[in-house]
Every structure is written in C-alpha cells, then in structure tokens.
Amino acid sequence: MALGGTIRGKTTTLRLPVEADLEIYNRWMADMRVRRAHRVWHEPAMPATWKERFKEVAKDQQNVLWSIDASDKLVGFAVGHVWRMGNGFDLNHFMIDPDEWRNGYGSDAALALHRYLFDYLDLRLATTELRADNAAALRIARKLGYEEYAHGHEVHYRDGAYVDELQLRMNKETWQERWSAEREYPPLAANATR
Amino acid sequence: MFGPRLEGRSGVTLVPPTLAHFRLHPAWETQPEVGRFWGPRFGELTQEHQEETFKKVGADQTQIQWTISYLEEPVGFTGIFDIDWVRRDGESGIFIGRADLFGRGIASEAVRLRTHFAWRELRLHRVHNWIAHANRGSRRANEKAGYRQMGLFRRSFFRSGEWYDEWLGEAYPHTFPDQR
C-alpha cells in the first residue's frame, strides 16, 4: 500500500503514517466499539506482524494509508483504493478513535480527504460502504454528498445478529456543486504564467 | 482453494482447475469477443504469472475456484472469492472464454452448480456479485439461481461511446429455486 502524504483540514491533518502509529492501530482494532461500527482493517496482532503489514502495504501502489492527527495526537486512520484505471477511489476504512468520537474530527478529516480526491487528484467518483446502523458515519457521508446506490441485506455479523450494508457513491459533479469553495490552493495569479 | 468435481446437466461440469487450465486464461481474457464486459485487456499475462496465480489460488482459504468444463473441454472458470467465514459471505464471478459457445446455457448451469454448493456444502449465508447491466446472459444466469438486484452502479465504465452500468446482485439459501 502506498503511504499518503499531508492533507490539512481545519482541526485535523491526514499525514504520512509511521511505525510508531501501529501500536495504536492495534489497540483500535481490538476495541469492540470500533468493531461494531466498522470492518476491521486487520485483526489485532503482535508488533512484528504489524510491522510486516506496514512494509507490505507501503509497497502497494493502488492502496493508500493515512494517519489522522488532531492537536498533535493520533486520532484515526484512513485506507482507500485508487482504481486500476485511476479515475475513482474506494474509501475502505475510515476510523476515528472511539475516545474522540463526537468531536467533529471525522467530518473535518473526511472533507479534507475528499477535497484531495476531487480538487487535487481530479478523480471522477468516490465510493464507500457503511453499516446501515452507523448513523454518525452515514450523516458525514450524506453531508459530503454521498448517495446510496445499493443496499445489501444481512451483510455484517456482530453482537449476535446480521446488519445491512449501504453502498454509497459521490460524483465529482456533486463535489463541485456543494464544495467548490473548498480548494487546496488559491487560483493562480493572473501573471503566473508570464 | 479449488472446488470439487460437480456434475451438471447438458454436458456442463465444474472441475478442480489444473495448471493447464490456468494457462488458457490469458488467451481467453484478451479476446475482444469475450471481453466486452471484462477487464482492460492488458496485464501480467505471462505463463509464469499464471503458474504463480495457480499456486496462490490453490493455497488461498478465502476463495474457491472451478474450471467450467463443457463436453469434457475447459471453456471458462467460476468461483466464490473474498469469502468471509465469520459473515459467511463471498463474491461470486464467472467467465466463459469461448464466444462460440455463448447462448448454450453453460453459464446458467455453472452458476446453478456453484450456488447450490455454496448453500449445501459451504454453509454460506450470502453470495453477492457485480455484473455489467447490459450482460443479459450473465445476469439471467445468476437470477435463475436466486440472485436478486440490490443496486445499480450507474456509469461504471465507458466503452465505444457508451456508459455501462453495473448490476449488483445478492443471493441467499432461501432465494435458491426449488430443485425438486
């Protein structure tokens, strides 16, 4: 997996992940609050296994991993897959530390990440899959501009029962309609190319 | 892993793949006649890569793959991939590599055998897939085995001046047609 570089939000920053983050990733993957809300990225494991995973993922050119910081503290991570033909992105994991839920970090980091996808990488669309009962994630996704294109029934199993999955997509046109004021860089100066 | 031999009707059998079968895949996958709804028609299409893939598929405990045999001849492949043994869910796929055999019901029989195996032998809870909406033959083959539409992914890919949508299906043991 490729390692993602810096993307600045207002209260959060997506940044290059480092090995020191892995111990905290491991703790989150072992947290039942996380596991009920999301699919795990990897199962909890010993440090050497996480280091191997980190080496493996760093080599992959189509998947990208970012760590998410807020106030100089690691508060989450994101993992996405850039389509083979390069024009779309599947946001496969987007995780905020459960102890930091309801601080607005998810909304802020998600907006920054999508600004990067549409305003910087110029992708055509982004997709994500969410559990139907993950109200907080759905609220963030819908506010960004995601729309449901499929509803899978009894897809995920946890806490003794199945839960449905919603598959959502967001097009570049939606980004432009809702968020055109969000830009990575200001417009080029009129004389910039003279 | 490779699936066991499943005898079907009308000359169709699902058989455990061999390396010789895997060596046929690049030639199948790069023909325009069969690739309209398939991949980009390029890739690491060497015989060495096929050998590696054969070993990898055989060892992988999260997928089960078969060669589709028609009148004792390999003509395609099918399988269930990314199986999650906790959720008991997997993604199915099928590829018929011989355009001259389209329309003979080979895919329908292969999907029926595969789906029956998923419920009766693997004890899966759900199988899902993506099919080009315009690939009516493949879609019908899956619908006959109990797949139902769960969504439509609009404008998935663009070929020959047209956008192609993708049909998303899911099947459960209770949607499998009565085989009595």
Other CB atoms within a 10 A radius of the CB of residue A3 amount to: 18
Q: Decide if A84 and B88 are in contact by the 8 Å CB cutoff.
A: no
* Residues B119-178 pLDDT 10s: 999 999 999 999 999 999 999 999 999 999 999 999 999 899 999 999 999 999 999 997
Cα–Cα distance, B107 to B104 (Å, whole number): 8
Which two tokens mark B16? 């455990």
Distance CA A95, CA A38 (A): 8
DSSP B114-168: HHHHHHHTS--SEEEEEEETT-HHHHHHHHHTT-EEEEEEEEEEEETTEEEEEEE
Nearest CA in chain A to B165: A149
* pLDDT band for position B180 (cuts 50, 70, 90): very low
Closest by CA to B166, choosing from B122, B119, B134, is B134
Instruction: Say if CB A114 and CB A50 are below 8 A apart.
Output: no
Distances (CA, A) of A89 to A93, A114, B105: 12, 10, 36
- Taking a C-beta distance cutoff of 8 angstroms, is the pair B38, B101 a contact? no
Q: Which residues contact A90 (CB under 8 A, 6 or more apart)?
A: A80, A81, A83, A126, A127, A128
Residues of chain A with a CB closer than 8 angstroms to some CB in chain B: 84-85, 148-157, 162, 167, 169
Give average pLDDT by consecutive 10-residue segment, chain A, 194 residues. 91 97 98 94 96 92 94 96 90 97 97 97 96 97 98 95 98 96 91 88
- Secondary structure of residue A93 in the 3-state scheme: strand
Across the A/B interface, how many CB contacts are shorter than 8 Å?
42
Is B14 a residue whose pLDDT tops 60? yes
Please state, in angstroms and rounded to a whole number, the distance separating the CA atoms of residues A105 and A97: 10
pTM confidence score: 0.90
A147 CA to chain B: closest CA distance, Å? 11
**Is the distance from CB of B150 to CB of B130 less than 8 angstroms?**
no
Kindly list the distances between the CA atom of residue B53 and the CA atoms of B18, B21, B31, B46, in Å, as whole numbers in the listed order: 11, 12, 20, 11
